[in-house]
Amino acid sequence: MEFVTGYKSLLNPKDTEKAIKLTKDTFEKELSSSLRLTRLTSPLFVEAGSGINDDLNGVEKPVSFSVSALGGRKMEIVQSLAKWKRMALADYSYPVGRGIYTDMNALRPDDQVDAIHSVYVDQWDWEKVIDDNARNLDVLKTTVRDIYAAIKRTSFMLSENYSVLEDYLPEEITFIHSEDLEKEYPSLSSNEREKAAAKKYGAVFIIGIGYPLSSGIPHSMRAPDYDDWSTETEEGYHGLNGDIIVYDRIRDDSLELSSMGIRVNREALLRQLEMKNLNERKDLYWHKRLLAGEYPQTIGGGIGQSRLCMFLLHKCHIGEVQASVWKEETRRDAKERGIYLI
């Protein structure tokens, strides 16, 4: 069921729009300040076959079109900017400790469409240069804590401006490796494990997304050429990436707000392409530049704008905070329940 039984929005449509702007303006400032990020203009589309576009889990098909003025060259609407950001950091010569963020608007027509998924995706895409010797879990966790603190400060600002919006996030985020999560809940699916952990702790960062667990199945899939999910850490686990997951009281379920990680170096890229049987990607423009050592070592990720607004404004459906397309029965059901979909 897409809508929560008995749900009533705490904000009317007009106040919702005001609160969306306050959420985005506040979090953007908090994020850029915490991580020392500069806003950069990003593309809506990139050239097909360049290797710059993100293929997410490796199965999603990007929206494409040809440009007549360029002799019919094929372009693709971005699915995320994971690779483009790292290339931009190199081309703009950003120093260690500084980074960029951008408003990313994407289309993912292969995504399921439900209460938390939409064809339209809007997120803050960010990327930061780090030292080569900073490829470790301590750096990853420190960055996660900085992002979580920005979310907490935004939640506080909203509760100060709208008394009906309770800030119920815990003071600290809990870290747990996907391998430990599987051991704790061996009979549950990965989604069910996420819900159990989120409900137990309120907010968690699940480390290690993409590498096969003890069961032989990854917690979730990751493309082989942006996050480093195969490096073995000192703790004996694989993966320098993860997801920020919160417990959504309105839906009584987990909600992923961010996917992020330390990016692949040359060794990790070659290893992960081999594991995925995608060695042909080594000949793509983006990949050749990385293998040639032209990109700095970075950490980066994406933070869902509509997801964050939905969560902090206590909404039950992502359509309450973004304009997208929905099934007619979804809109009809929402109207009958008094739920306004933008």
Q: Which of 243, 248, 263, 281 is catalytic?
A: 243
- Residue 277: the pLDDT is 95
Residues in the chain predicted with pLDDT less than 50, given as ranges, are: none
Rounded Cα–Cα distance for residues 178 and 220 (Å): 9
pLDDT given for residue 56 in this prediction:
59
- Is 123 a known active-site residue? yes
For residue 54, the model assigns a pLDDT of 72
Classified by CATH at the fold level, domain 13-37+85-336 comes out as BirA Bifunctional Protein; domain 2 (3.30.930)
Note whether 303 and 147 are within 8 A (CB).
yes
Choice among 256, 289, 324, 333 that is catalytic:
256
Q: Say which of 54, 122, 225, 228 is annotated catalytic.
A: 54
Greatest extent of the chain over all pairs of C-alpha atoms, in Å? 58
- Whether 108 is a known active-site residue: answer yes
In this prediction, residue 59 carries a pLDDT of 58
Residue 87 token pair:
């290339």
Q: Which of 99, 242, 123 is nearest to 173 (CA)?
A: 242
Catalytically annotated residue among 42, 118, 123, 230: 123
What single DSSP character describes residue 184?
H
Would you state the pLDDT for residue 50?
A: 81
pLDDT in tens, 122-176: 999 999 999 999 999 999 999 999 999 999 999 999 999 999 999 999 999 999 9
For 199, counting Cβ atoms within 10 Å of its Cβ (0-12 exposed, 13-18 middle, 19+ buried), the class is middle
243 given a catalytic annotation: yes
Q: What is the pLDDT of residue 63?
A: 85
Give the active site residue among 108, 135, 193, 281: 108
Angstrom distance (rounded) from CA 236 to CA 141? 16
Examine the residue annotation and report whether 50 is marked as an active-site residue of this protein.
no
pLDDT given at position 106: 86
Q: For all residues of the chain together, what is the average pLDDT?
A: 93
pLDDT, tens only, 35-49: 999 999 988 898 888
The Cα–Cα gap between 225 and 284 comes to: 11
Name the pTM for this structure: 0.93
Distances (CA, A) of 236 to 179, 233, 240: 10, 5, 12
Q: Please give the pLDDT value at position 57.
A: 55
Which of 32, 42, 190, 259 is an active site residue?
Answer: 259
Residue 91 is predicted with a pLDDT of 93
| pLDDT of 245 | 98
Rounded to 5°, the CA angle 198-202-205 comes to 60
Instruction: Determine the pLDDT at residue 60.
Output: 67
